[in-house]
Structure formats: C-alpha cells, structure tokens
Structure 1
Amino acid sequence: MSTTHALNRGLAVAAAAALIAGVVAATPAFAAQHDAPPSATAVQDLDKGGAGQGPSVALAQAAGPRIGRSEVISRAASWYGIGLKYTKTGETYQGYRKDCSGYASMAWRLGTPGLDTTSFVPSGVASWISKGDLKPGDALLNDAAGYDGHIVLFEGWVDSSKGSYYGYEFTGSGVQHRTIPYPYFSGHGTFKPARNNSIVDDGQPPQTTGDQPVAGNWDGGPAGNVGVFRPSTGQFHLRNDDGSLVKLDWGQAGDLPVSANFDGSGPDNIGIFRPSTGQFHLRNDDGSLVKLDWGQAGDLPIAGNWDGGPAGNVGIFRPSTGQFHLRNDDGSLVKLDWGQAGDLPISGNFDGSGPDNIGVFRPSTGQFHLRNDDGSLVKLDWGQAGDLPVAANFDGGNGAPATNVGIWRPSTAQFHLRNDDGSLVKLDWGQPR
C-alpha cells in the first residue's frame, strides 16, 4: 500500500467528507491518489449485487442538496473499511440504511434513511445518462425492487478503453471499493448510468446551504478560535477558548462567511460576502455595519491584513483565473496569481512576519499551498477531498506568531486543526451536512 493510500484510507476511517476541486475529467485525478481497488474476478456472489434493501420510502424530494463530485467520493470512502455489516431490515448508520441504496443516498447527501433503487429516478433525485457522460460521483443503477435492485457509485475509468471502472458499493459482505467490469458483473440484472440531478462539477462555487466554517480570535485570548455560519438562520455560532458558545445574527441564506479585525480594535469581527450582489457586509465591535463592493458572483471571499495597517481587509479569489483580488485600506487593488480552478482560498500570517499572506487548499490532493511574503511556496498535506479550509493561530503561538491551517469536515462537523509542530487537534462544532 502506498503512503498516499494509507493517508487517504486513514482519514476516511476517521471520518468523511468532501467541496470543490478542479474540473474533473472522465478519468478523475483522485483515482490516481491511491492504489487501484482490488480486482473482483474471484469474489463470491455475496460480494456482488444487492442482497435486499429496507422498505421503500416515500418520494420525498424532487432533488437533493447541491454537492460536488469529490465530496460524493469522499463520503463514499468514509464507510469503506470500518466494518459495517449489510442489513435487510432497515437498520441504519449515521441515519442511513445499511444497504446499497442507503449507502448511495448517504454519499449523495440525500435525506435519511435514504431512497431505494426503485425511487432515485422516479423521485426526480436522479436521471439516466449515457456511458460517455459518466463522471466521478455518478452511479450504475439497477432499478429493480428489493433483492434484485442494486446501485454502485462510479469513481472513474480504469483506463481509456472504458471496459471497467473503480466503484464503491454496499453488498452483502459489506462496503466494497474495487474494479468492476462495465456496467456490472454478469448475472446480476440490467445496470444503466445515472446521475444525481444536484451534483456539480468540482470547481464550481461552493454550496451555500448547511454550516460553513470560519476561524478568528473572537474572545481576545492567545489562541485562534473556530466557528460556523448557519445560512438557514443567518447566524454565526462562535466557539471561545473555554468551549462556550456565542451566537450572532449576521447574514442570510446564500452568504459566505469571513472574519478579520475589520475595525482595527478589540477581537476579530465577523462578516459575510453576498455573491448575488458582490458585496461584503462587515460587522464592527459595536454591531454596526460596513458595506464594501468587491468581487462578483462566482468569487470566493477571504479576509486578512494585507497592507499592514491597523484593520483587516477583504479580498476575493476568482477560480476562473486562479487570481486573488485584495483590497487595501485605501480601496486600492492588489492582484496575485496563486492557485487554480477548484482551489479554496485561505489567508493568514503563514510565515510569522509582515502582513498576512494568501494560500489555497487543493481538495484534489488534500494539500495546502501557502504563499510567504517573498512569494515562495510552502506545501502542507492536511485534509482530503470534501473538506473546507480554515486558518488562524490555533495553538496561540507555541513560541511563534505564525498562522496555522485546519479543515472542517462537513460529514462529521469536526475541525481538524494543525499546530505549529504538526500535531492534530479535533473539535466537534456545527452540524454535519
């Protein structure tokens, strides 16, 4: 097993997740991040097809929530290798039935306990597609009922011949990740390609429903803190050093959160970027509002102190160009080329001197690319596809003033924060998606 495979497998066992990677081709970049799944040429019939499903569920929704392809694969990987047993009686794990269609429903982030094989297309959640359209996060579906039905999540083609693919599936012997002949092993019914109607190619703007992570120094203590913005309520849930909660009403559904010391005094402040208007709404210590026009729909917001003045500044990362547009205190613009489509922006004083720096988290590799003051690059392996990045001085300096990186894992609502010495701190905060 390769070192990279061991890291990915370890992260998948610890939790899950998955937002926004570069535009994915039919043979995905993440298919090459691990050793190929084992061949299944000699497995027992128990390892193939569906062994039955829980009772049919009502056609409760015409579409699931927006979800990126890499997040689907990351969520699928989270159930692999942790010993889950297939059940025919509707038993659940994380709210989803432990059968093939409950598993696919989990990976697609549909409502619990999940649809069954007869329901995905009639409910409007999924649609039939052609073989040539298959991309990571799509499925091969046998929409028969009960014991005869089955669904497999498509990860990517094994090679350009498209005669076999890497797939995730929940069979009678548990969750499998392996090479499967297209469309499926013979003798197990008719399988056709299908697509979740709410799936989006990686690199598109992030979903703006469900909790969104944010980091900053809310309580004025030595260490940075974490929090989430909950679009459904327009409310920030901020965690202090002692674990206590502060709730602040700010923003609305569709907004994306930012944090920095926007008024130049006291602790860090919160704010939102409204993609529909290209406008920042920043909150001062006294609760007053500052509006700044900066950016446009499709941009991703960041905040930090770019110009060394007393106050924090705003900026955007434009995925279409891989360029940061940073706003100084006087309203002037600084453009920096850093990153590429599919990256997620962060900011902080990564080198511990001068003004704040920019960086990106690359979900396709689980790697941070941080820019120092002199333009040099620091790469850090931290996180996996589907994770969302944060940055703050989480360890309170630990002998150095540098900013640390971390991720929030949507599937578990857990922060994985990296200290200066590379050690890990986990914090449960927010609601899982």
Structure 2
Amino acid sequence: MAPINFVGPIMACIGIGEVLRDSGHRVVFAVRASWRKKLTEMGFSVEVIGDNETDQSTPVMDTAEQGVELIRDCMQNQSALQICFKRFSTMANILAICEADEPYYRDIIDRQRPDAIILDNLINLPSVVNSGCVWIKAVSDSPLMLDMCLEDSRLPPSLLGLSINDKSLWDYYRQQVNAIRYPVFKLFGDWFQSHGCPAPADNQLWFPSPYANFYLTPKELDYTDVRPMPDNFYQFDYYKRTVNEANEDVFELPKQLRQRSGKLIYLSLGSTNSADVDLMKRLVGLLAKSEHRIIVSKGINHDKYELADNMWGEKFVPQIKVLPIVDLFITHGGNNSVTECMYFGKPMIVLPLFWDQFDNAQRVEDKGYGIRLNPYECSEQQLLQSIDSLLNDNQLAEKLKKASKRIQTERQIERIPEMLMKLVKDPTRWLVDY
C-alpha cells in the first residue's frame, strides 16, 4: 500500500488493507513514521518513508495551521479559477517530496518484492510503474478528479464545484483550468520521463494503470449516468471498515445529550478543516440556536473553544461508531466522509472547504442527498432551516434507506482480494493497452 501522506488516502487504504489482511494476505504500508504505531496495531507491516523517524510532515503543509491558512486563502477568493490556481500552486511542493521519496520506495520494493502495489497518490510514481509488479492506481478523491487522466467533455472540470445541471460555463472554465494546470502537469511529466517512464498526455497529471484502477464513490453519486468508464476502472461504494462490525463497541451517547430532546446531529470538518478555531466557533454559535442535539468532532484545537449546552464533543470522535446513531451529518465533504454517510443512509449538509470537497458537495446536492452551504457565509437561518428541511423530508429518508441497503448488501470491497489474486496469477490477461 503506497498512499500519499494525507489522512484521507491513508484511511481509504486502511479500508482496502483490512479486507486483504482478513483474507490472509500480508499487507505492507509505505508511510511516514508517524503512522507506524497505528498501522502496526492494526496488524499491518510498516516500511518508513524518510530518514527521520519522527517525521510528521505532509507533502503540502507541515502543520494543520498551515493547512487552515491555505484554505482561508482559497476561500477568500470568490473566483473559482483563483481557488483552482491556489490549489495547483501547492503541487510544486509535492514534486519535491516525490523526488526525495523515490529512493525509499525503490528500496522497499526491492526488499519486499510485493505481488501487487496499490498506489493512492496524486501522481504515479516511477518506482511503482517500473517495478515489474502488478500495480493498481487507487483514487480516493471525488470521481470527478478522474479528469486528471480521463478528461471528458460530458463532465465539468474538477475542483470547481460546478453543477452537472448547468453547462453554460463549462467550456470557459475548462479552457482556463487547462491553462492554469498545464505548466504544473508538464513539470510532473518531465520528471516522469527523466525516470524512464512515458509522460502522461497533455493536460493529464497521470495515466491509468494497465492492470486495474479503483475509484471511490457510491453508485448513487457516480457520473456513469453521464459517461461510461473504461473496462479496467472499478467503482467501489466505500472503503470503510466492514469486518467484525458486530464485535465493535457501540458508541454510548453522553449523559448530557441523553437527557435532552431533539434529533441527533454530528458535526465534523475533518482533520485539517477543524483546526480553524474561528470557523468552528462560528458554526458552534449558529448551531447553539438549534433545538437539536449536536455531537462535535472538535479537532486538534479542541481546547481553544467551548461548546454550547446542546452539544458534546471531543478532540476526535469515532465517526464510524457515531454515524449509525445520528439523524443528520454536517460534513466538510471529504470523500471518505461522504461515502461513509451514504453507507449509513444519513442526510448531509456539506460545507466544502478545499480540494475535491466542492465537487462532492455539489454532487450530493445535484443528486438530492443533501444541501451544500458555504461554511464562512451561511446564515443562522440558512443552516437551521436546511437542518429541519432535511430531517423532515420523508422521501429523502426512504431514498437514503434504499441506497444504504444496497451498499451494505453488495459489499463491493470484498471483491478486491479475488480481483488481486486473478491479476497476480495471470497479469498479462488483464493488461490494457493505452
């Protein structure tokens, strides 16, 4: 497993890794040292990327506070193109990290000689492509991000949060976005060629694996109703943990919430976004006026603000255990959170802040599974009315119940061990020529 050093992709790879581990396979994670303890405790082997055993860095930012600054900078620009430019401008940092990490990946692959490599990264890595192993490209971001390798005029350009229902500005934005990202993508293409690999096509950041490509989204939110996917692209509804669920501890609602009336709402802005204390204070202030009960994932700055009387929260809240008991989820729209919410059949208010969260938020709203709001601008009335609208929508409740039942019944993730076994046994049979 070779995930980029962000929480989202690593958690997605843990979901895949658990299914493989529980099928009897040995799963090795190539990650930063800060993940060693958690992954080892989960029964995975760990190979450390980097020299420093205490290295906590991420490719783009060293601290959550730097992430908050980047997000605020993006959100202060009202132009979608300015936001897009800010995002792509951070990618030059990723290239430097990838260059520094390449020797570690090569060494790990040489020593471990894996049967298969699952790569969840913004780009392909030459060490993986040149390894001689079966390798799978996994995309744990919004499926619209597949336009980084499969641009399709039937869909809007990614990262801008554009609706599928309004095509009026698609061509304009696509031209502008391509102009913004072309120089950045060319840097990665040149780097890739310098390592003896073919470069992706123009305005593409990576090329698909010839073996298999995994992407993460429930069928209900996929774009296959607009465009079909190539044969070796495989959609998965979720990567959340599914094994031994019956044996997991049930989340016990804290006493102060048990003693109150009202529906139960869960607020989480993810590991980076929740570090924005001013934003968390703003949302807590708005939700304090609600008649409902709120569970808050407070984040790393949990001790820098207080919750209202109708709330309970901690630094980290076990999301997988909380979602089954709540009536509504207020989320930043990270892909793991959206898919987990759909798994449990909960309506959602999506407050996008960064990267693919805008696309996820718009897709949820377009498909009628929730409401998109601006976390910095939405009013008390907008937020509280949106909550009540979703909670009182009986048709939506039935729609979500149906989606949840399908997702939990099909359990698509359990196909992965058999798929990998077939690939490893006869890889040439599955090769696709691009």
TM-score, normalised with respect to structure 1: 0.26
Instruction: Flag the structure with higher strand content.
Output: 1
Structure with larger Rg: 1
When you count helix as a share of all residues, which structure comes out higher? 2
Q: Which has the higher contact order (CA 8 A, sep 6+)?
A: 2
